Each structure stands twice: as C-alpha cells, then as structure tokens.
Structure 1
C-alpha cells in the first residue's frame, strides 16, 4: 500500500508535463458571433436590462402619435384611463410646439400625478418666454414618464407593437434608435465574449488580413502573367498572319 503514492506521483508529473495550454479555435465563418449564449454575471444582466428598457421606451415614444391617430385599434389593449393619459400628453406636446401659453393648458398639467405649479419657480432673471420653455420641458418630462409607466406596467408594449406591425403602422426607426440598438448589440457581444476569445478574434482578423493581402498579391501576379502571355500570343498571331499575307 505504501508504494502507490510513489507510483502516482511521477505519473501525475508526466501528465502535467504533457498538458498543453488549450487554445480556442474559432470558425472563421463565425468569427463575429459571440462564443456564449448567456450572460455570466448579474451585473452584465442588469446593464442589458437597462439597454432593453431604454430601447423599448424610445420605441414607445415614437409610437404614441400613431396610437392617438388609430385609437380604435387599441380598445382591447389599452384601458380608458391610460388612453386619456396618452391624449393629454399629445395635447401637451402640441401646445408646446405651437408656443401656447402655459395658462391655456392648466387643465392638462393639473391632472399630472407629479403636478406642481412650476410658475412659482420661475427665474426672475430670465424672460417670461424662457421660463415658460423650462416649465414646458418639466411638464412634458413628467407626462411622458407617467404615460410610459402606465403602458409598461401591464406589459402592453409587445401587444401594441404587434398591432401596429400587422396594420403597417409601425413608425420607421430614427437614427437615434438605430444607434441605440447598435450600441446594445455591441455591448451584448462584448459581454458574451471572454478576453481570451476577444484576443483570438483579433489574432484571426490579423491573420485573415495577412492572407488577404498575400492572395491579392498572388492574384495580381497571375493576372500580369496572363496578360503578358495573351499579349505575346497576340503578337505571334499577328506576326504569323503578316507573313502569310506577304507570301500570298
């Protein structure tokens, strides 16, 4: 029984010596695809939730005017109280765009859950129009928060988006939305890729670029050789044709 440890030790040493570092081998065709399918830490999951919430809220904001214009389509999806909040928000936004006085929309802003008489906070050093502009921004922020909270509270986003899509009413994404989605996808890819995999991607991209440059050089050389051979053949044909014509 005492001999087993002495026999096991050199065996383990030999095995350890034979072990080589494992290098990932990424398929060049799938070089840009993440190596994993799930986020590994709670922190990365939270970051992606923030991204998804932001994209979802931005999409909803773009949908609001269409929802108001086609309210009948959403009778079974959006309750009356929430729909009234959407109407009020659009009225508030329209009043701001037409430079209406804050006094003319007091019936709208007083119904906001976070209402406060913002005119009490007017800065005396600013003009009345500048103060009204600041107040409008405050009320619109509170209004859109209220609308988004109500629409997202009961997971209505997917149902609303599906109705718009089925009726060809889905608004085209703006540049900001495209940038946000690209940023979200880029972050997701980075979170699903380990540093080792990222380094291997960089190495493989360098190798591919080197191969591409080498292949381009070979192709250029072969094209030149082919062009020279064609030119030489054409010269020989022309010369033979000239001799044939001369002899006849």
Structure 2
C-alpha cells in the first residue's frame, strides 16, 4: 500500500476535453480500400451513446483537474487571488493531508528497511513485536487515505461549481509529469476507440472483420511472393558476384597499366621541374634588380612623407588656435542661449495658458461645427439629389433634341433622294429622245448619199 502511494506523482495537463467534438473526423485523404474501416456515421444518434461519451469526457476533465492539484499546492504564491478563498483553503487542507500521508508512508518504509537490515541482529520476539507495531501503524493509513479521497471529491465539487477557477487551474500545468500525461493521453485514446466502436453498427463490424481477413490472406500471398522473389534475388546475387570477380580481374590489369603511366608521368615531372628551376633563377635575378629600384623609390617617398608631416603639424597648430577661439565663442553663445531660453520659457507658459483657454473655446466651436456639419450634409444631400435630377432632365432633353435632329436629317435626306430620283428619270428620258433623233438623221444622210451616187 505504501509503495503504491509513493508511486503516485504529479500529473500534467492534457488537451481540453471541452473542445473534443462528439463526432468522428476521418481523414479526407483516406484511400478507397480503407473505407470499410471508417464508420458510415459521423455523429452519435442514441441517447445512451451520448451519455456514455459525456460520462467519459467528464471523467477525463476531472482527471485533468486532479492531476494539477499537487503542482498548484506546491506553488502557493497568489493562490487565493487566482482560485478564490474557499478553493485555496480546501487545497491547503488537501495538501496537509497528503503531506501527513507521505510522511507516515516514508516513516514506515524506513522502519521496514531498518527492520530487514537488523533482522539477523535482533531477537525473534523483539523482531515480531516490531513487525506488529508496524502493522498497527499501517492500519491507520486507510482512514487517512479515505479522508484524502473525500477531500479530493470536495475540491472537484468546488472547481466544477466555479468554471473560471477550473480554467485558471488548467492554465497552471507546467509541472505535470510525463507519466501522468501518458495516462491522460491513453484515456483520450480510449475515448477515440470507444467513440468509433459506438459509431460502428453490427453490419459494419462484420464488414470490418471480413476486410481484415481479406487483408491477412493478401498478406500471406504477398509473403509467399516475397519468398519467391528472395530466392530469385539470391540466384541473381550469385551471378552478380561472378560478374564482379571478372570485373576485378579487369581492374587489376588497368591498375598495372596505370602504374606504367605513373612512371612515365614522374619522368615528365622531373623534366618540368628542372625547367622550372632554371626559370626561377632567372626570375630571382630580375627581382633583385626590381628590389633595388623599389628601395630607392622608398627613400624618396620617406623624404616626401617627412616634409608633409612638418607641413601638417604647422596646419594643426593653426587649427588648434582656431578651435580654441571657436570654443570660447560657443560658450558665450550658450550663455546667451540660456538667457533667451529662460525668457522664452516664461513666454511659453503665458502662451500655454492662453492656448488652454482657446482650446476650451475651440471645443465649444467644434461642437457647434459638428451640428453645422450635420445640417450642411443634409443640405448637400438635397442639393445632390436636385443636381442629379437636373442632370437627368438635361440628358433627357439632349436625347429628345438629338432624336428630333436625327428624324429631321433622315426626312431631309429622304426628300433629297426623292428629288434626285425624279431628276434622273427626266434626264434619262431626254437622252433617249436625243439618241433616236440622231439615229434618224444618220439614216436620212445615208439614203441621200446613195441617191447621189
């Protein structure tokens, strides 16, 4: 019993069960063969299933609250301000009971360990008396554990009656142990399994079992195919090893040829090295001449540098004098600035008082202005409506004028075309008569010419 009590550690916060939905959310990307494993329903329909899920959700919520009690009682700073006086008092009483239980259990464990170590040294009667006293002390533990259970129930009632305190308690979840978190995660996983089981109908359960049997059969056939492929792979590996041996012999021949090539390259390297040494000697002689020339240039530049340093020192002295003069002027200006700023500060304070008075007047004028702005907005809206109506009337008038001009133009064009048609008809009749007369004159002339002949 004592070892079971000591193994209980502080639990830590899990996911908020108030946010867990009472409906399944299967993945949208589930493959079509796995549809048999997904329930057709997404919500619980019967009252019994909903009650089962609500009981489990409430249990998980209570476990989350209970597992935070040890951490909150260990950090007692601002406890009354966060959770309230009643809950804080109940938590202190619960922490005192837990501490008493842990002290007694640790004392009993120490006594048991000491008794086991001194078992050989003590008399048998004395050892039995010691064990009896330990058993009597252990008999006092169940009532204390019952008090702790009652205290835990009382704390849960207070927290559930105060949702705000329960929410604040769940926020203090930094010290929960990994074992407690795994326990809560397993409860949530159990909830998911139970939820899926409640959504699954008997027909779907049979289909699911059949689907699993088909999958196992397919897995067996796949294993047989894998065995055959492994045998074929072994044969192929033997063939590949033989090919590798052949390629190794070819590689050995290539290595001998490479060795000969390396010897030839070493000879050519020696030749190029000799030529490089000759070139290095020639370059060294040329570099010595360049170094002598550069040293002469360095001496000339040093003399120039010395002359420039002397000139810069003289200019620096002049600039120092100028700087001192400017600093004295700046001090005078600063004093003058301080006097002027004092006067300006007084003037500013006077202006500030005037500004406050004017600001109060401005607030009054702004209030009046807001009223006038509202009136002006109403007037402007009326003017806009009148202007829109006037523009529409003008547009309508323009359309009517344009339509009238178009009708007049069409009518005038029609009259002109009819006059032109009548003139063309008259002209065409006159031309026909003239042609007939000309033809008759030509015929008479021909007859006269024939008579003369």
Q: TM-score range by the shorter chain?
A: 0.5 to 0.7
The answer (yes or no) to whether the contact 2:36–2:207 under 8 Å persists in 1 is: no
Trace 1:143-154 onto structure 2 (pairs within 5 A): 143-154=151-162
Which residue pairs with 2:150 in the alignment? 142
Corresponding position of 2:140:
132
Task: Please list the CA deviations of residues 190-245 of structure 1 after superposition, one character each: whole Å capped at 9, or x if unmatched.
Answer: 10111111111111111112112212221221232233134245447868999xxx
Give the ranges of 4+ consecutive aligned residues of structure 1 lying more than 6 Å apart after TM superposition.
239-242
Distance change (3 Å), C-alpha of 1:236 and 1:172? closer
SS in 1 for 2:68: helix
**Higher RCO (CA 8 Å, separation ≥ 6 residues):** 1
**Match of residue 50 from structure 1:** 55
Secondary structure in 2 matching 1:99:
helix
Q: CA deviation at 1:146?
A: 0.5
Q: Indicate how the Cα distance of structure 1 residues 231 and 159 shifts in structure 2: closer, same or farther if over 3 A, else same.
A: same
1:229 has 2:242 as partner: no
Residues 183 and 231 of structure 1: CA distance in aligned 2, closer, same or farther (over 3 Å) = same
Equivalent residue, structure 2, for 1:68 = 73
Which TM-score applies when normalising by structure 1? Answer: 0.63
SS in 1 for 2:143: helix
Partner of residue 202 from structure 1, selected from 205, 209, 214: 209
Deviation at 1:139, TM superposition (A): 1.5
Task: Name 1:172's counterpart in structure 2.
Answer: 178
Judge conservation of contact 1:65–1:90 (CA < 8 Å) in 2.
Answer: yes
**Using the alignment, how far apart are the partners of 1:234 and 1:150 within structure 2?**
77
Alignment of 1:187 with 2:214, yes or no, is no
SS in 2 for 1:39: coil
Cα RMSD, aligned residues only? 3.2
Match of 1:218 in 2: 225
Matches within 5 A, 1:106-121: none
- Aligned residues of 1:89 and 1:143 also touching (Cα < 8 A): yes
Describe the superposition over 1:5-26 as per-residue Cα deviations: whole angstroms up to 9, x where unpaired.
xxxxxxxxxxxxxxxxxxxxx9
Structure 2 unaligned residues grouped into runs of 5+: 1-30, 106-134, 250-453
d(CA) in 2 for partners of 1:187, 1:131: 39
Distance 1:31 1:74 in 2: 52
More helix, by proportion? 2
3-state DSSP of counterpart to 1:38? coil
Asked if 2 retains the 8 angstrom alpha-carbon contact of 1:60 and 1:148, the reply is: yes
Contact 2:60 2:187 in 1 (8 A): yes
- Match in the other structure for 1:93: 98
CA distance in 2: counterparts of 1:195 and 1:208, whole angstroms: 20
Residue 180 of structure 2 corresponds to residue 160 of structure 1: no
Secondary structure of 1:191's aligned partner: helix
Structure 2 counterparts to residues 7-18 of structure 1, below 5 A? none
* Contact kept in structure 1, 2:67 and 2:176, CA below 8 Å: no
Q: Is the 8 A contact 1:74 1:160 kept in 2?
A: no
- Mark the CA change 1:41 to 1:71 in structure 2 (over 3 Å): closer, same or farther: farther
After TM superposition, give the deviation of residue 153 of structure 1 in Å.
1.5
Residues 136, 47 of structure 1: CA spacing in aligned structure 2 closer, same or farther, 3 A cutoff?
A: same
**Runs of at least 5 residues in structure 1 that lack an aligned partner in the other structure:** 1-25, 101-126, 243-248
Q: How does 1:11-50 map to 2 (within 5 A)?
A: 27-29=32-34, 32-50=37-55
Change (3 A) 1:63 1:199: same
TM-score for the superposition, normalised by structure 2: 0.37
Residues 224, 73 of structure 1: alpha-carbon distance in 2 compared, 3 angstrom cutoff? farther
